[in-house]
Structure 1
Amino acid sequence: MTDDILNQVKKAEESAARELDLAKEGARKLVEEAKIKADESYKEEIDRAKNKAKKLVEDAKAKALEESKPVLEKASEASEEIKQRDLTDLSKTVDSLVERIVNNGNS
């Protein structure tokens, strides 16, 4: 009878040890899965943040380009005016020099 009780206790301890091992393995798997899910979630958040930052930069560039167009057009117009004025002034100077040379010789 004592042997039966000892055998039952031994079997119960072995069963408990197996159950404990299974529980530990299950917990380890749950932790691994949680880590994987956390890592995937982290990567998704990083990707979302990068995409949002990229869009913000693209939008800022587009806005800056749009806002700079009138300034660039105005600068181009001013440049053309200066070129035309310089050509007119140059023509007047050349005409004046030619006239002096013709009228005064080599002076």
Structure 2
Amino acid sequence: MSLERRHTDSLVKWVFDKSTLLSSSQQVIAKVLFLVGYNWKALLVPKLRAENSHTSRHLADFWMVEAEIASADLEDDMNCAEAYVKYRYKWLLEKC
């Protein structure tokens, strides 16, 4: 897929009938966190998708955890994600 095509796919009329580009990542926030000294980050962020859908099961927006660890490999990333999911489920079971 060409850059022009991807650009067009994510261009939507969203708010106040103006064309808007959707961001698919919080990389700007991540880079700032790394610059100020955090060596890891996990963000719970809303995600928006503008691609065409031919099904009623397609989510246009949803919440996603975006995790990133500086100087980590895939195993470290998976361990971090697993620990986060376990923590969240434990919290839900205790509070709800």
Rg bigger for which structure? 1
- Give the TM-score, by structure 1 length: 0.22
- Give the TM-score, by structure 2 length: 0.25
* Larger proportion of strand: 2
Relative contact order higher in (CA < 8 Å, ≥ 6 apart): 2
* Larger proportion of helix: 1
